[in-house]
Homo-oligomer: A and B are copies of this chain.
Amino acid sequence: MKKQGFQPDWRNTAPEASSFRSIFKWGASATFKHPNERLYALLKETFSLSDRDFQTRQNQGDEAVVLNPAVPMRLSVEQVRLFEDIVGENNVESGDYARVKFSSGKTMEEIHQLRSSAVGRICDLVVHPRNKADICQIVACANRQKIPLYVYGGGTSVTLAPKPVKGGITLVMATHMNRVVEFNETNQTITVESGMMGPVLEDFLNHAPTLYHARHAYTCGHFPQSFEFSTVGGWIVTKGSGQMSSYYGDACDMVISQEYVAPSGCLKTLDYPSTATGPMVNDMLKGSEGAFGVLVSVTLKIFRYQPENRRRFSYLFPSFTDGISACREISQSQFGMPSVLRISDAEETWVGLKQHGLESRVLERFLAYRGYLPGKRSLMIGHTEGERGFSKNVRKMIGKICKRYGALPLSGYPVRKWEKSKFADPYLREDLNDFGIWIDTLETGLTWAKLLEVHEQVRAYIKARPQTLCMTHCSHFYPQGANLYFIFLSRFATLEEYKTFQMGIVERIVKSGGSLSHHHGVGKMLAPLMEKHLGKEQMDVLRALKAHFDPQNIMNPGGTLGLD
Protein backbone atom coordinates (compact mmCIF):
# COMPACT_ATOMS: atom_id res chain seq x y z
CA MET A 1 0.00 0.00 0.00
CA LYS A 2 1.24 3.41 -1.04
CA LYS A 3 1.81 6.02 1.66
CA GLN A 4 -0.93 8.61 1.69
CA GLY A 5 0.10 12.22 1.54
CA PHE A 6 -2.59 13.69 3.75
CA GLN A 7 -3.20 12.41 7.24
CA PRO A 8 -5.85 13.87 9.52
CA ASP A 9 -4.77 15.93 12.44
CA TRP A 10 -5.65 13.25 14.98
CA ARG A 11 -5.84 14.88 18.36
CA ASN A 12 -2.81 14.49 20.59
CA THR A 13 -3.65 16.82 23.44
CA ALA A 14 -5.12 15.76 26.75
CA PRO A 15 -8.50 17.25 27.55
CA GLU A 16 -8.74 20.07 30.05
CA ALA A 17 -9.32 18.73 33.54
CA SER A 18 -12.79 20.18 33.88
CA SER A 19 -14.02 19.61 30.35
CA PHE A 20 -16.70 17.32 29.01
CA ARG A 21 -14.01 15.64 26.92
CA SER A 22 -12.14 14.66 30.09
CA ILE A 23 -15.23 12.68 31.05
CA PHE A 24 -15.92 10.79 27.84
CA LYS A 25 -12.36 10.32 26.59
CA TRP A 26 -11.28 6.72 26.95
CA GLY A 27 -8.57 5.78 29.43
CA ALA A 28 -5.58 7.86 30.41
CA SER A 29 -5.95 11.51 29.49
CA ALA A 30 -2.62 11.79 27.66
CA THR A 31 -2.68 8.40 25.94
CA PHE A 32 -3.73 8.06 22.34
CA LYS A 33 -3.92 5.46 19.64
CA HIS A 34 -4.66 6.80 16.21
CA PRO A 35 -5.87 5.02 13.10
CA ASN A 36 -2.85 4.26 10.94
CA GLU A 37 -2.71 5.39 7.33
CA ARG A 38 -4.09 2.10 6.10
CA LEU A 39 -7.09 2.22 8.39
CA TYR A 40 -7.59 5.84 7.39
CA ALA A 41 -7.68 4.88 3.74
CA LEU A 42 -10.15 2.13 4.51
CA LEU A 43 -12.42 4.55 6.37
CA LYS A 44 -12.46 7.00 3.47
CA GLU A 45 -13.24 4.18 1.07
CA THR A 46 -15.98 2.66 3.23
CA PHE A 47 -17.78 5.86 4.05
CA SER A 48 -17.13 7.59 0.71
CA LEU A 49 -15.25 10.34 2.45
CA SER A 50 -12.38 12.46 1.20
CA ASP A 51 -9.46 14.10 2.93
CA ARG A 52 -11.63 17.19 3.11
CA ASP A 53 -13.98 15.42 5.53
CA PHE A 54 -11.07 14.90 7.89
CA GLN A 55 -9.91 18.47 8.10
CA THR A 56 -11.88 19.73 11.06
CA ARG A 57 -12.65 17.86 14.23
CA GLN A 58 -16.25 18.17 15.38
CA ASN A 59 -17.90 18.45 18.78
CA GLN A 60 -14.77 17.79 20.75
CA GLY A 61 -16.41 18.56 24.08
CA ASP A 62 -13.71 20.94 25.23
CA GLU A 63 -16.19 23.13 27.06
CA ALA A 64 -15.90 23.23 30.84
CA VAL A 65 -18.65 21.34 32.60
CA VAL A 66 -21.07 23.99 33.78
CA LEU A 67 -24.67 22.98 34.10
CA ASN A 68 -26.62 25.65 32.27
CA PRO A 69 -29.39 25.80 33.15
CA ALA A 70 -28.35 24.45 36.51
CA VAL A 71 -29.65 20.96 37.29
CA PRO A 72 -31.15 21.55 40.70
CA MET A 73 -29.83 19.56 43.62
CA ARG A 74 -32.76 17.61 44.99
CA LEU A 75 -31.29 16.87 48.38
CA SER A 76 -31.85 19.29 51.22
CA VAL A 77 -28.97 20.88 53.10
CA GLU A 78 -29.84 18.68 56.05
CA GLN A 79 -29.71 15.58 53.93
CA VAL A 80 -26.31 16.52 52.52
CA ARG A 81 -25.07 17.09 56.06
CA LEU A 82 -26.14 13.60 57.06
CA PHE A 83 -23.71 12.15 54.56
CA GLU A 84 -20.98 14.66 55.32
CA ASP A 85 -21.25 13.54 58.92
CA ILE A 86 -20.62 9.96 57.84
CA VAL A 87 -17.68 10.31 55.44
CA GLY A 88 -16.41 13.80 56.25
CA GLU A 89 -16.89 16.94 54.15
CA ASN A 90 -13.81 16.14 52.06
CA ASN A 91 -15.45 13.05 50.73
CA VAL A 92 -18.64 14.68 49.53
CA GLU A 93 -18.88 16.58 46.26
CA SER A 94 -21.74 18.53 44.79
CA GLY A 95 -20.00 20.51 42.05
CA ASP A 96 -21.22 20.29 38.47
CA TYR A 97 -18.14 18.48 37.22
CA ALA A 98 -18.19 15.71 39.80
CA ARG A 99 -21.93 15.22 39.41
CA VAL A 100 -21.62 14.82 35.65
CA LYS A 101 -18.41 12.78 35.69
CA PHE A 102 -19.63 10.17 38.13
CA SER A 103 -23.01 9.96 36.40
CA SER A 104 -21.50 9.00 33.06
CA GLY A 105 -20.51 5.72 31.52
CA LYS A 106 -19.10 5.00 28.10
CA THR A 107 -22.12 4.32 25.90
CA MET A 108 -22.18 5.97 22.49
CA GLU A 109 -25.34 7.70 23.65
CA GLU A 110 -23.61 9.36 26.58
CA ILE A 111 -20.51 10.25 24.58
CA HIS A 112 -22.61 11.79 21.85
CA GLN A 113 -24.45 13.94 24.38
CA LEU A 114 -21.33 14.99 26.28
CA ARG A 115 -19.67 16.06 23.02
CA SER A 116 -22.43 18.67 22.73
CA SER A 117 -22.23 19.67 26.40
CA ALA A 118 -25.52 17.92 26.90
CA VAL A 119 -26.13 16.06 30.09
CA GLY A 120 -28.67 13.37 30.84
CA ARG A 121 -29.89 12.51 34.30
CA ILE A 122 -27.21 13.08 36.92
CA CYS A 123 -26.80 12.43 40.61
CA ASP A 124 -27.29 15.13 43.21
CA LEU A 125 -24.35 14.27 45.38
CA VAL A 126 -21.11 12.36 44.97
CA VAL A 127 -19.90 10.47 48.02
CA HIS A 128 -16.54 8.72 48.41
CA PRO A 129 -16.91 6.08 51.14
CA ARG A 130 -13.74 5.27 53.06
CA ASN A 131 -14.56 1.83 54.37
CA LYS A 132 -17.26 -0.71 55.07
CA ALA A 133 -18.49 1.17 58.12
CA ASP A 134 -19.12 4.23 55.96
CA ILE A 135 -21.09 2.16 53.49
CA CYS A 136 -23.20 0.57 56.20
CA GLN A 137 -24.12 4.01 57.49
CA ILE A 138 -24.68 5.47 54.03
CA VAL A 139 -26.99 2.64 52.96
CA ALA A 140 -28.93 2.77 56.20
CA CYS A 141 -29.27 6.54 56.01
CA ALA A 142 -30.29 6.54 52.34
CA ASN A 143 -32.81 3.82 53.10
CA ARG A 144 -34.33 5.82 55.95
CA GLN A 145 -34.43 8.95 53.80
CA LYS A 146 -35.52 7.06 50.66
CA ILE A 147 -32.64 8.57 48.69
CA PRO A 148 -31.55 6.65 45.54
CA LEU A 149 -28.05 5.17 45.70
CA TYR A 150 -25.90 4.46 42.67
CA VAL A 151 -22.50 2.80 42.70
CA TYR A 152 -19.70 3.97 40.37
CA GLY A 153 -16.75 1.67 39.79
CA GLY A 154 -14.45 2.56 36.90
CA GLY A 155 -17.10 4.23 34.75
CA THR A 156 -16.53 2.00 31.71
CA SER A 157 -20.08 0.66 31.51
CA VAL A 158 -21.55 0.47 28.03
CA THR A 159 -25.06 -0.34 29.26
CA LEU A 160 -26.04 2.75 31.30
CA ALA A 161 -25.63 0.58 34.40
CA PRO A 162 -24.51 3.31 36.83
CA LYS A 163 -26.69 6.06 35.30
CA PRO A 164 -28.41 7.80 38.24
CA VAL A 165 -31.70 8.21 36.48
CA LYS A 166 -33.51 8.97 39.72
CA GLY A 167 -30.88 11.38 41.02
CA GLY A 168 -29.75 10.93 44.60
CA ILE A 169 -26.29 9.80 45.58
CA THR A 170 -23.50 8.19 43.60
CA LEU A 171 -20.94 6.26 45.63
CA VAL A 172 -17.47 6.33 44.12
CA MET A 173 -15.75 3.14 45.17
CA ALA A 174 -12.30 3.56 43.66
CA THR A 175 -11.25 6.60 45.68
CA HIS A 176 -10.64 4.84 48.97
CA MET A 177 -12.05 1.33 48.77
CA ASN A 178 -9.07 -0.06 46.91
CA ARG A 179 -7.09 -2.02 49.49
CA VAL A 180 -5.97 -5.59 49.84
CA VAL A 181 -7.79 -7.10 52.81
CA GLU A 182 -5.99 -10.44 52.83
CA PHE A 183 -3.60 -12.34 50.63
CA ASN A 184 -3.81 -16.05 51.39
CA GLU A 185 -1.31 -18.15 49.50
CA THR A 186 -2.33 -21.38 51.19
CA ASN A 187 -5.85 -21.02 49.83
CA GLN A 188 -4.61 -19.30 46.69
CA THR A 189 -7.01 -16.40 47.20
CA ILE A 190 -6.87 -12.67 47.61
CA THR A 191 -9.50 -10.56 49.37
CA VAL A 192 -9.75 -7.01 48.11
CA GLU A 193 -12.09 -4.09 48.44
CA SER A 194 -14.40 -3.74 45.50
CA GLY A 195 -13.04 -0.38 44.31
CA MET A 196 -9.62 -1.78 43.46
CA MET A 197 -8.64 -1.16 39.82
CA GLY A 198 -7.43 -4.00 37.62
CA PRO A 199 -3.76 -3.03 37.29
CA VAL A 200 -3.37 -2.46 41.03
CA LEU A 201 -4.67 -5.95 41.74
CA GLU A 202 -2.50 -7.51 39.06
CA ASP A 203 0.54 -5.64 40.29
CA PHE A 204 0.04 -6.88 43.86
CA LEU A 205 -0.28 -10.43 42.61
CA ASN A 206 2.65 -10.31 40.21
CA HIS A 207 4.82 -9.04 43.08
CA ALA A 208 3.51 -11.34 45.78
CA PRO A 209 6.96 -12.88 46.43
CA THR A 210 8.34 -9.44 47.35
CA LEU A 211 5.25 -8.02 49.00
CA TYR A 212 4.04 -11.07 50.90
CA HIS A 213 7.04 -13.40 50.89
CA ALA A 214 4.93 -15.68 48.72
CA ARG A 215 6.41 -18.78 47.13
CA HIS A 216 4.96 -17.83 43.74
CA ALA A 217 3.93 -14.82 41.74
CA TYR A 218 0.24 -14.73 40.87
CA THR A 219 -2.16 -13.31 38.32
CA CYS A 220 -5.83 -12.42 38.61
CA GLY A 221 -6.55 -13.97 35.21
CA HIS A 222 -9.22 -11.39 34.37
CA PHE A 223 -8.28 -9.04 31.54
CA PRO A 224 -11.27 -7.38 29.94
CA GLN A 225 -10.56 -4.64 27.43
CA SER A 226 -11.50 -2.20 30.21
CA PHE A 227 -8.95 -3.86 32.55
CA GLU A 228 -6.89 -0.73 33.17
CA PHE A 229 -9.87 1.42 34.08
CA SER A 230 -12.39 -0.88 35.70
CA THR A 231 -12.79 -2.14 39.26
CA VAL A 232 -12.92 -5.61 40.70
CA GLY A 233 -16.41 -4.89 41.98
CA GLY A 234 -17.54 -3.76 38.55
CA TRP A 235 -16.27 -6.99 37.00
CA ILE A 236 -18.43 -9.08 39.30
CA VAL A 237 -21.65 -7.11 39.56
CA THR A 238 -21.88 -6.95 35.76
CA LYS A 239 -20.75 -10.56 35.18
CA GLY A 240 -17.74 -9.50 33.14
CA SER A 241 -15.50 -11.79 31.15
CA GLY A 242 -11.85 -11.17 30.37
CA GLN A 243 -9.91 -11.79 27.20
CA MET A 244 -8.37 -14.87 28.83
CA SER A 245 -11.66 -16.25 30.13
CA SER A 246 -11.45 -19.44 28.11
CA TYR A 247 -8.69 -20.59 30.45
CA TYR A 248 -9.18 -18.57 33.65
CA GLY A 249 -12.98 -18.41 33.65
CA ASP A 250 -15.40 -15.49 33.69
CA ALA A 251 -15.22 -12.95 36.50
CA CYS A 252 -17.97 -14.71 38.42
CA ASP A 253 -16.13 -18.03 38.29
CA MET A 254 -13.33 -16.48 40.34
CA VAL A 255 -15.51 -15.31 43.21
CA ILE A 256 -15.10 -17.40 46.35
CA SER A 257 -17.03 -15.10 48.66
CA GLN A 258 -18.43 -11.60 48.89
CA GLU A 259 -19.27 -9.03 51.51
CA TYR A 260 -22.37 -6.99 50.74
CA VAL A 261 -24.18 -4.10 52.33
CA ALA A 262 -27.84 -4.00 51.35
CA PRO A 263 -30.77 -2.09 52.79
CA SER A 264 -31.82 -5.45 54.27
CA GLY A 265 -28.53 -5.70 56.16
CA CYS A 266 -24.89 -6.70 55.79
CA LEU A 267 -23.78 -10.14 54.83
CA LYS A 268 -20.60 -12.02 54.12
CA THR A 269 -20.75 -15.34 52.37
CA LEU A 270 -18.50 -18.17 53.50
CA ASP A 271 -15.26 -18.93 51.71
CA TYR A 272 -15.53 -22.67 51.09
CA PRO A 273 -14.51 -23.64 47.57
CA SER A 274 -17.48 -26.00 47.53
CA THR A 275 -20.26 -26.78 49.97
CA ALA A 276 -23.66 -28.47 49.85
CA THR A 277 -25.56 -26.14 52.13
CA GLY A 278 -28.45 -25.14 49.94
CA PRO A 279 -28.61 -22.53 47.18
CA MET A 280 -25.57 -20.24 47.26
CA VAL A 281 -26.24 -16.63 48.18
CA ASN A 282 -22.74 -15.94 46.83
CA ASP A 283 -24.06 -16.84 43.37
CA MET A 284 -27.28 -14.87 43.72
CA LEU A 285 -25.34 -11.65 44.24
CA LYS A 286 -23.26 -12.04 41.08
CA GLY A 287 -24.59 -9.87 38.29
CA SER A 288 -26.85 -7.82 40.56
CA GLU A 289 -25.58 -4.59 38.95
CA GLY A 290 -25.98 -2.51 42.09
CA ALA A 291 -29.67 -3.27 42.41
CA PHE A 292 -29.41 -5.42 45.55
CA GLY A 293 -26.77 -3.57 47.55
CA VAL A 294 -23.15 -2.46 47.58
CA LEU A 295 -20.39 -5.00 47.05
CA VAL A 296 -17.81 -4.08 49.67
CA SER A 297 -15.13 -6.72 49.34
CA VAL A 298 -14.56 -9.94 47.53
CA THR A 299 -12.37 -13.02 47.89
CA LEU A 300 -11.04 -14.11 44.52
CA LYS A 301 -9.33 -17.20 43.24
CA ILE A 302 -5.88 -16.35 41.95
CA PHE A 303 -3.58 -18.19 39.56
CA ARG A 304 0.14 -18.73 39.20
CA TYR A 305 1.81 -16.09 37.08
CA GLN A 306 3.99 -17.94 34.60
CA PRO A 307 4.15 -15.92 31.41
CA GLU A 308 7.26 -17.88 30.44
CA ASN A 309 4.97 -20.81 29.63
CA ARG A 310 2.91 -18.86 27.13
CA ARG A 311 2.80 -20.43 23.66
CA ARG A 312 1.47 -18.31 20.80
CA PHE A 313 -0.30 -19.36 17.62
CA SER A 314 -2.15 -17.94 14.66
CA TYR A 315 -3.87 -19.64 11.76
CA LEU A 316 -5.73 -18.65 8.65
CA PHE A 317 -8.83 -20.70 7.89
CA PRO A 318 -10.56 -21.00 4.53
CA SER A 319 -13.74 -19.70 6.18
CA PHE A 320 -15.26 -18.54 9.47
CA THR A 321 -17.30 -21.74 9.50
CA ASP A 322 -14.10 -23.81 9.39
CA GLY A 323 -12.56 -21.66 12.11
CA ILE A 324 -15.62 -22.09 14.32
CA SER A 325 -15.53 -25.85 13.81
CA ALA A 326 -11.90 -25.87 14.90
CA CYS A 327 -12.71 -23.73 17.95
CA ARG A 328 -15.48 -26.11 18.93
CA GLU A 329 -13.16 -29.08 18.60
CA ILE A 330 -10.55 -27.26 20.69
CA SER A 331 -13.12 -26.43 23.36
CA GLN A 332 -14.51 -29.95 23.56
CA SER A 333 -11.38 -32.10 23.26
CA GLN A 334 -10.48 -32.04 26.95
CA PHE A 335 -6.82 -31.19 26.72
CA GLY A 336 -7.49 -27.94 28.59
CA MET A 337 -8.17 -24.54 27.10
CA PRO A 338 -5.88 -21.86 25.68
CA SER A 339 -5.94 -18.59 27.62
CA VAL A 340 -6.57 -16.51 24.51
CA LEU A 341 -8.51 -17.83 21.57
CA ARG A 342 -9.99 -15.47 19.00
CA ILE A 343 -11.47 -16.23 15.64
CA SER A 344 -12.35 -13.33 13.35
CA ASP A 345 -14.99 -13.53 10.67
CA ALA A 346 -14.20 -12.67 7.06
CA GLU A 347 -14.79 -8.94 7.37
CA GLU A 348 -12.78 -8.58 10.57
CA THR A 349 -10.01 -10.63 8.98
CA TRP A 350 -10.10 -8.42 5.91
CA VAL A 351 -9.93 -5.22 7.98
CA GLY A 352 -7.25 -6.66 10.22
CA LEU A 353 -4.98 -7.71 7.37
CA LYS A 354 -5.53 -4.40 5.64
CA GLN A 355 -4.92 -2.37 8.79
CA HIS A 356 -1.71 -4.17 9.57
CA GLY A 357 -0.41 -3.92 6.03
CA LEU A 358 -0.35 -7.65 5.63
CA GLU A 359 -1.75 -7.67 2.13
CA SER A 360 0.36 -7.71 -0.93
CA ARG A 361 -0.24 -8.97 -4.44
CA VAL A 362 2.20 -11.80 -4.04
CA LEU A 363 0.77 -12.90 -0.73
CA GLU A 364 -2.73 -12.52 -2.12
CA ARG A 365 -1.97 -14.74 -5.08
CA PHE A 366 -0.41 -17.34 -2.81
CA LEU A 367 -3.36 -17.33 -0.41
CA ALA A 368 -5.95 -17.47 -3.17
CA TYR A 369 -4.05 -20.34 -4.75
CA ARG A 370 -4.13 -22.19 -1.44
CA GLY A 371 -7.86 -21.58 -1.04
CA TYR A 372 -7.83 -18.74 1.49
CA LEU A 373 -9.95 -16.32 -0.46
CA PRO A 374 -10.49 -12.70 0.49
CA GLY A 375 -14.00 -12.19 1.83
CA LYS A 376 -14.05 -15.76 3.09
CA ARG A 377 -10.83 -16.46 4.97
CA SER A 378 -10.82 -16.19 8.71
CA LEU A 379 -7.97 -15.40 11.14
CA MET A 380 -7.47 -17.18 14.44
CA ILE A 381 -5.01 -15.99 17.06
CA GLY A 382 -4.34 -17.05 20.60
CA HIS A 383 -1.96 -18.26 23.24
CA THR A 384 -1.81 -20.86 25.94
CA GLU A 385 -0.88 -20.64 29.58
CA GLY A 386 -0.60 -22.78 32.71
CA GLU A 387 2.06 -25.29 33.72
CA ARG A 388 4.72 -25.75 31.07
CA GLY A 389 3.82 -29.27 29.95
CA PHE A 390 0.12 -28.45 29.98
CA SER A 391 0.66 -25.32 27.93
CA LYS A 392 2.85 -27.14 25.43
CA ASN A 393 0.30 -29.89 24.98
CA VAL A 394 -2.55 -27.42 24.46
CA ARG A 395 -0.46 -25.64 21.83
CA LYS A 396 0.34 -28.92 20.12
CA MET A 397 -3.26 -30.09 20.07
CA ILE A 398 -4.48 -26.76 18.69
CA GLY A 399 -2.01 -27.14 15.87
CA LYS A 400 -3.29 -30.62 15.09
CA ILE A 401 -6.92 -29.54 15.10
CA CYS A 402 -6.35 -26.43 13.00
CA LYS A 403 -4.52 -28.47 10.42
CA ARG A 404 -7.42 -30.90 10.32
CA TYR A 405 -9.78 -28.01 9.52
CA GLY A 406 -7.63 -26.78 6.66
CA ALA A 407 -5.84 -23.90 8.39
CA LEU A 408 -2.61 -22.29 7.28
CA PRO A 409 -0.23 -21.76 10.20
CA LEU A 410 1.04 -18.19 10.44
CA SER A 411 3.83 -16.81 12.58
CA GLY A 412 3.41 -15.54 16.12
CA TYR A 413 3.35 -12.02 14.66
CA PRO A 414 -0.44 -11.46 14.58
CA VAL A 415 -0.90 -12.54 18.18
CA ARG A 416 2.04 -10.45 19.43
CA LYS A 417 0.57 -7.51 17.56
CA TRP A 418 -2.77 -8.16 19.27
CA GLU A 419 -1.18 -8.56 22.70
CA LYS A 420 0.49 -5.19 22.35
CA SER A 421 -2.72 -3.39 21.50
CA LYS A 422 -5.24 -5.44 23.45
CA PHE A 423 -6.09 -2.62 25.83
CA ALA A 424 -5.39 0.20 23.36
CA ASP A 425 -8.07 -0.16 20.68
CA PRO A 426 -10.75 1.80 22.58
CA TYR A 427 -8.53 4.88 22.19
CA LEU A 428 -9.37 4.85 18.48
CA ARG A 429 -12.91 5.83 19.27
CA GLU A 430 -12.26 9.48 19.99
CA ASP A 431 -10.46 9.91 16.67
CA LEU A 432 -13.32 8.36 14.75
CA ASN A 433 -15.95 10.28 16.68
CA ASP A 434 -14.01 13.52 16.16
CA PHE A 435 -14.77 13.13 12.47
CA GLY A 436 -18.36 11.97 12.81
CA ILE A 437 -17.84 8.22 12.51
CA TRP A 438 -19.70 6.19 15.11
CA ILE A 439 -18.22 3.00 16.45
CA ASP A 440 -19.84 0.66 18.92
CA THR A 441 -19.98 -2.98 19.96
CA LEU A 442 -22.66 -5.47 20.92
CA GLU A 443 -22.11 -9.02 22.05
CA THR A 444 -23.94 -12.18 22.94
CA GLY A 445 -23.44 -15.62 24.48
CA LEU A 446 -24.47 -18.67 22.47
CA THR A 447 -24.58 -22.40 22.24
CA TRP A 448 -22.53 -23.89 19.42
CA ALA A 449 -25.69 -25.00 17.67
CA LYS A 450 -26.87 -21.40 17.29
CA LEU A 451 -23.61 -19.61 16.66
CA LEU A 452 -23.39 -19.48 12.88
CA GLU A 453 -27.05 -18.66 12.45
CA VAL A 454 -26.88 -15.73 14.85
CA HIS A 455 -23.72 -14.51 13.13
CA GLU A 456 -25.40 -14.65 9.76
CA GLN A 457 -28.66 -13.03 10.80
CA VAL A 458 -27.12 -10.24 12.81
CA ARG A 459 -24.61 -9.47 10.08
CA ALA A 460 -27.39 -9.42 7.52
CA TYR A 461 -29.19 -6.82 9.62
CA ILE A 462 -26.09 -4.67 10.14
CA LYS A 463 -24.87 -4.90 6.59
CA ALA A 464 -28.29 -3.99 5.23
CA ARG A 465 -27.39 -0.48 6.30
CA PRO A 466 -25.27 1.10 3.58
CA GLN A 467 -21.74 2.18 4.37
CA THR A 468 -21.45 0.15 7.54
CA LEU A 469 -18.46 -1.88 8.63
CA CYS A 470 -19.19 -4.93 10.76
CA MET A 471 -16.33 -6.88 12.24
CA THR A 472 -17.17 -9.93 14.29
CA HIS A 473 -15.18 -12.36 16.37
CA CYS A 474 -15.57 -15.04 19.01
CA SER A 475 -13.22 -14.65 21.95
CA HIS A 476 -14.73 -16.49 24.92
CA PHE A 477 -15.07 -20.24 24.64
CA TYR A 478 -16.78 -22.99 26.59
CA PRO A 479 -17.33 -26.66 25.78
CA GLN A 480 -21.00 -25.80 25.27
CA GLY A 481 -20.64 -22.60 23.24
CA ALA A 482 -18.97 -19.24 22.79
CA ASN A 483 -19.69 -15.55 22.42
CA LEU A 484 -20.08 -13.38 19.35
CA TYR A 485 -18.71 -9.85 19.49
CA PHE A 486 -19.93 -7.41 16.86
CA ILE A 487 -18.02 -4.18 16.18
CA PHE A 488 -19.85 -1.83 13.86
CA LEU A 489 -18.86 1.51 12.35
CA SER A 490 -21.18 3.82 10.50
CA ARG A 491 -22.35 7.40 10.29
CA PHE A 492 -25.64 8.55 11.75
CA ALA A 493 -27.53 11.80 11.35
CA THR A 494 -29.04 11.77 14.81
CA LEU A 495 -28.77 9.97 18.12
CA GLU A 496 -32.27 8.61 17.61
CA GLU A 497 -31.30 7.10 14.27
CA TYR A 498 -28.30 5.49 15.97
CA LYS A 499 -30.32 4.12 18.88
CA THR A 500 -32.95 2.63 16.61
CA PHE A 501 -30.24 0.85 14.65
CA GLN A 502 -28.50 -0.32 17.82
CA MET A 503 -31.65 -1.76 19.40
CA GLY A 504 -32.46 -3.38 16.07
CA ILE A 505 -29.20 -5.30 16.38
CA VAL A 506 -29.96 -6.41 19.92
CA GLU A 507 -33.40 -7.55 18.91
CA ARG A 508 -31.96 -9.52 16.02
CA ILE A 509 -29.41 -11.13 18.33
CA VAL A 510 -32.05 -12.33 20.75
CA LYS A 511 -34.55 -13.32 18.09
CA SER A 512 -32.04 -15.45 16.26
CA GLY A 513 -31.05 -17.31 19.43
CA GLY A 514 -28.34 -15.36 21.25
CA SER A 515 -28.42 -14.23 24.85
CA LEU A 516 -29.09 -10.58 25.64
CA SER A 517 -25.46 -10.14 26.68
CA HIS A 518 -22.40 -12.29 27.16
CA HIS A 519 -20.31 -9.97 29.30
CA HIS A 520 -21.33 -6.32 28.99
CA GLY A 521 -24.27 -6.80 31.33
CA VAL A 522 -27.76 -5.39 31.05
CA GLY A 523 -27.82 -2.02 32.78
CA LYS A 524 -30.66 0.26 31.90
CA MET A 525 -29.98 0.01 28.19
CA LEU A 526 -30.97 -3.64 27.65
CA ALA A 527 -33.32 -3.78 30.62
CA PRO A 528 -36.50 -3.33 28.59
CA LEU A 529 -35.71 -6.60 26.81
CA MET A 530 -35.10 -8.65 29.95
CA GLU A 531 -38.60 -9.90 30.62
CA LYS A 532 -39.13 -11.07 27.08
CA HIS A 533 -35.71 -12.75 27.12
CA LEU A 534 -35.86 -14.52 30.49
CA GLY A 535 -39.61 -14.89 30.79
CA LYS A 536 -41.88 -13.58 33.50
CA GLU A 537 -41.19 -16.49 35.86
CA GLN A 538 -37.45 -15.85 36.01
CA MET A 539 -37.96 -12.09 36.27
CA ASP A 540 -40.32 -12.66 39.17
CA VAL A 541 -37.55 -14.53 40.98
CA LEU A 542 -35.18 -11.60 40.47
CA ARG A 543 -37.88 -9.22 41.65
CA ALA A 544 -38.41 -11.33 44.76
CA LEU A 545 -34.72 -11.00 45.58
CA LYS A 546 -34.83 -7.29 44.85
CA ALA A 547 -37.80 -6.90 47.21
CA HIS A 548 -35.88 -8.77 49.88
CA PHE A 549 -32.59 -6.90 49.63
CA ASP A 550 -33.99 -3.50 48.81
CA PRO A 551 -37.66 -3.22 49.73
CA GLN A 552 -37.77 0.54 49.18
CA ASN A 553 -36.02 0.39 45.81
CA ILE A 554 -33.22 2.79 46.63
CA MET A 555 -30.44 0.69 45.05
CA ASN A 556 -29.76 1.66 41.43
CA PRO A 557 -33.44 2.38 40.75
CA GLY A 558 -34.86 3.32 37.38
CA GLY A 559 -34.78 0.19 35.30
CA THR A 560 -31.62 -1.74 36.16
CA LEU A 561 -32.00 -5.34 35.02
CA GLY A 562 -35.64 -4.57 34.30
CA LEU A 563 -36.49 -4.82 37.98
CA ASP A 564 -38.52 -1.64 38.28
Contacts and interface: CB of A to CB of B under 8 A. Distances in A.
A132 B386 CA distance: 45
Contacts of A389: 335, 393, 396-397
A187 B448 contact: yes
Range, interface on chain A: 35 or more
A322 to B, nearest CB: 15
Contact of A272 (B269, B333, B446): B446
A483 interface: yes
Contact of A250 (B268, B274, B283): B274
Given A332-B304, A390-B335, A449-B184, A518 B274 contact: yes
Contact of A336 (B284, B328, B332, B390): B390
Interface in A518-542: 518-522, 530, 533-535, 537-538, 540-542
Considering residues A306, A386, A535, which has the most beta carbons from chain B within 10 angstroms of its beta carbon?
A535
A276 B158 CA distance: 13
A515 B385 CA distance: 32
Interface in A431-445: 445
Contacts of A187: 447-449, 480-481
Interface in A276-299: 276-281, 283-289
A541 B537 contact: no
A301 interface: yes
B301 A479 contact: yes
B386 A272 contact: no
Given A277-B517, A387-B397, 18 more contacts: A186-B328, A187-B448, A188-B480, A239-B275, A264-B537, A271-B447, A273-B445, A273-B478, A273-B479, A276-B515, A276-B520, A278-B289, A278-B530, A278-B534, A280-B286, A281-B538, A335-B389, A540-B548
8 contacts: A239-B275, A267-B538, A275-B516, A276-B518, A278-B287, A279-B542, A281-B538, A336-B386
